Chains A and B, each alone.
Chain A
Amino acid sequence: MTTTGKYQQLEFEELLRARLGFEGPGTGGPAPDASRAVGGPSKALARRVFASARWRFEHLDRIRDGFVVDASGRGVTAIRPGRTSEAAGSAARRLAAQGREELLQYLEGERTFFQVPVDLDRLPDFQRRVLDEACHIPYGEVRSYSFLAERVDHPRAARAVGTALGRNPVPFIVPCHRILRGDASLGGYGFGLPMKADLLALERGTPVLQGCATTRIVCRVGCAALRRARPDNRVAFASVADARSIGYRACRLCRPADR
C-alpha cells in the first residue's frame, strides 16, 4: 500500500513505537529493569521454577530406572514397573526397544507423538474402543471422561470410561493422562496425581510444531528429520500455515499438515 506519503508512514511508525513500546527505561539489550529493584517476586519465581525442574527430573529417573516396555510382534502391549521386558521374537524386541526410546524422549519434552504401534488385541472390546479414542486427543490438550463416553457411543458410561482408562496397560503412549473430570479437576491417575499434573504441565510447555532454520522445513516435534537439527536452529510455529507464510514447508516424513 503506497497511497500514503512518506511523512504519514513515519508518523505511523512513531505511533506503533509509542503504543507497542514497553514502559520502563532502555530499548533492546538485557538492560536491568524495574523488577530488579523489587527483587522479591523474581526471586520467588526463580525458586518456584527451580523446584518444578527438580520434580521433572525425579519423574524421569523413576520411569527410566523402574519401568519396562513389553511388546508383541504387532506393537507395545504394556508399560509396567519391573526389571526385565517380556518380548518374544525379534520383531517384538525391536518394538519394545523403540517404545522405550520414544517414551524417554517424550518425558524429556523431545517428542509429541508416538510412532510405535500399540497392540491392544487382548483387551475387552469396550476398553479397547475407549483407549483407541483416547489416542486421538492431541498432545497438550485435555478432554473429559464424559466426552470420551460420548465418542464410544455410551454417553452415560463416564464412570466405566474412567475404569477402562485406569486399567490402561500402556500409559503415556495411550494418553490416559489427558482426560480430566468435567469440572476440570484432575480425576485419578495410576501413578499418582502429581505425576498427572506434571505430565500436563510438560505438554503445555512443549511446542508441537517446530521448524529448522537452515532447512526451512516444519515438523512435528519428535520427527526423525527434526532430531537432526541443532537445538539453536529450532523455531516453534503456531500452525503449518504460519510456517508457510514465512517460507517454510511441511516435512514429508511426519506430515504435520495432515493433522
Chain B
Amino acid sequence: MTSDRALMRRVRQRDERAFTELVARHEGRLRAVAARLLGSRPDAEDAVQRALLQVLTAARSYRPEWAVSTWLYRILTNICVDEIRRRRVRLEHRAAGPDLPSPGGRGSVDGAGALIDIQRALLKVPTEARLLLVLHYGDGMSYGELARVRGISINTVKSQLARGKTIMRTALEERSA
C-alpha cells in the first residue's frame, strides 16, 4: 500500500486517483469527528466536503514533514470551528428563531437517553475544550497530537481537558439531581 505521504505528493499534481484513494482512507474518521463536533450528520457531510476541497486547493502548502492525518485533522477542525462560530452569529442575528436545528441529534430519543445527556453536557463546554474532548475521547488522539492539531502546548491540552470534564460532570450531575 502506498504511504499517505506518497499519495499527497501525487495529490499536489492534481492526480484524481490519488485523491480518491486518500479520501477513501480518511473519510470515515473525518466524518465521525465532524459529526461529533457539529452534532448533525448533514452538517458533518458538508464540513468534510469543504475540508477535502481545501486539501485540494491548498495541497501546495502541505509539507512532507507532517503526518498527513494531522494535517487533515487540522483542516477539518478549522472548518468545524468556523461553522460553530457562524452558528453563534446566526443565533444572535435572528435572536433565537423557532427553526433552529437542535444540536443533539433528534431521531433517537428512546433508548439512547444517556448519549443525549452526554451530548447536551458537551454543548455546555466552551468550544476549544469541547474540541479537545471529542478528539481525545472520541478519536483516541494523544496529547501530543492534539497540541499539534490545535497549535497549543501539551500543558494547555491537559488543563483544557480537565476543565472541560469538570464542566461536563457538573452539567450531568445537575440533570440527574
Contact = CB atoms under 8 A, between A and B. Distances in A.
Interface of A: 1, 4, 12-13, 15-17, 19-22, 24, 27-36, 39, 42-43, 45-50, 52-53, 56-57, 108-109, 138, 140-141, 201, 204-213, 231-239, 242, 245-247
Interface centre among B28, B139, B169 (most CB of A within 10 A): B28
B127 A238 contact: yes
B139 A28 contact: yes
B68 to A, nearest CB: 7
A246 B128 contact: yes
A238 B160 contact: no
A233 B151 contact: yes
Given A30-B4, A246-B156, A52 B53 contact: yes
A236 B139 contact: no
Contacts of B78: 207, 210, 234-236
A28 B81 contact: no
Q: Is the interface of B mostly helix, strand, loop or mixed?
A: helix
A147 B82 CA distance: 24
Contact of B151 (A43, A201, A213): A213
Interface centre among B16, B29, B48, B68 (most CB of A within 10 A): B29
A22 B139 contact: yes
B142 A49 contact: no
Given A53-B53, A236-B82, A32 B165 contact: no
Nearest to B152: A246
20 contacts: A20-B134, A20-B138, A24-B28, A28-B145, A30-B4, A30-B25, A30-B29, A35-B31, A47-B16, A50-B19, A50-B56, A56-B53, A212-B151, A232-B66, A235-B150, A236-B79, A238-B82, A238-B88, A239-B85, A245-B129
Nearest to A49: B52
A238 B57 contact: no
B13 interface: no
Contact of B63 (A22, A50, A232, A242): A232
Contact of B140 (A28, A34, A36, A231): A28
